[in-house]
A = this chain, B = another copy of it.
């Protein structure tokens, strides 16, 4: 496996200048002919010739130069905690696909939940003239990166988390409705004592889902003891395991369990079987997200399906909107999750 690459000289990309020479007009004319916005300023025949030449010479505009001149790069930044978490790829796909249609390019960065690093990234992105930012970083309150963007007038839209300060758009799932649906489902199955494994309270989803849980059980006339909720240390399987152990360790009795997240639910599953409890015979289990393959585990997980892709698309649309209008209003859109009932929930036996 050792060959030299062919040493032919690199053919440089054709520029607007070469096109101009080729057609016999000034470069400014070429520029205008190429831009659909300004094309009407140029005679139709010239436009045609320019376009033909561009096609023939394989002209592709140098976006860096354009960006430098205009101060905008038709680039937006996407900031997520971790690409490997299966929740995020669909978001990104949704974002990219709609951005793409508008001629924008996305650049993606992982923050790994580190706020300092995140600031750094935002800096770098600004150096690249990003027109806007879509952030899915979960950590909630007091985000310096967001504040700075707002100060610099660069639009930010949040996804899968709400804003803790005004003037920032967001697209989130309707956790309240989702959790309510789950509680209702369990209540209909005869469950009365329902427990909750909450996500980290520093995260938006962790907080809202826990609140939604308390509200929903109260609304259903079910017990809402503090002891029925355990807060997990992270959105991971081990954290779920630890949380359910804590729950069981309290000697708490519950016949159903709603986890703030599928991963937590998987951890819970481990913890329950470790304790000799069968799902759904002894405990019914509900997750959140509908990750790939949770429909094929044993037992298939009942969970709340989020419209990840659609959320991404919406976020991108909002951002494009804000980029287009001079003084945009911020808005928050909520997408309702869908309860997918599978094998992990069943009728309540006797409460334990």
A residues adjacent to B (C-beta < 8 A): 1-11, 13, 60-65, 67-68, 73, 82-84, 86, 89-90, 92-93, 96, 105-110, 123-124, 126-129, 150-154, 166-167, 266, 291-294, 296-298, 327-332
Contacts and interface: CB of A to CB of B under 8 A. Distances in A.
B110 A93 contact: yes
Nearest to A163: B1
Contact of A64 (B11, B67, B96): B67
A166 B5 CA distance: 8
Contact of A62 (B65, B110, B127, B151): B127
Given A60-B123, A293-B291, A331 B298 contact: no
A162 B318 CA distance: 41
B327 A86 contact: no
Nearest to A334: B1
Contacts of A329: 2-5
Contacts of A84: 89-90, 93
Please name the 4 residue pairs, one residue from A and one from B, whose CB atoms are nearest each other, closest first.
A10-B153, A298-B298, A293-B293, A5-B167
Given A127-B60, A291-B293, A3 B166 contact: yes
A167 B3 contact: yes
Nearest to A327: B4
Contacts of A4: 167, 327, 329
How many copies of this chain are found per oligomer? 2
A315 to B, nearest CB: 15
Contact of A65 (B68, B86, B109, B152): B68
22 contacts: A3-B167, A4-B167, A5-B153, A6-B150, A8-B151, A10-B153, A11-B151, A60-B123, A60-B126, A61-B127, A64-B73, A64-B129, A86-B292, A106-B107, A107-B108, A291-B293, A292-B292, A293-B293, A293-B294, A293-B296, A297-B297, A297-B298
Given A60-B126, A62-B68, A82-B93, 14 more contacts: A2-B330, A4-B327, A11-B152, A60-B127, A61-B127, A64-B128, A83-B93, A84-B89, A84-B93, A93-B110, A96-B108, A105-B124, A292-B293, A293-B297
Contacts of A150: 5-6
Contacts of A292: 86, 292-293
A126 B13 contact: yes
A59 to B, nearest CB: 10
A110 B98 CA distance: 13
A127 B63 contact: yes
Nearest to A294: B293
Contacts of A152: 10-11
A297 to B, nearest CB: 4
A68 B70 CA distance: 14
A253 to B, nearest CB: 27
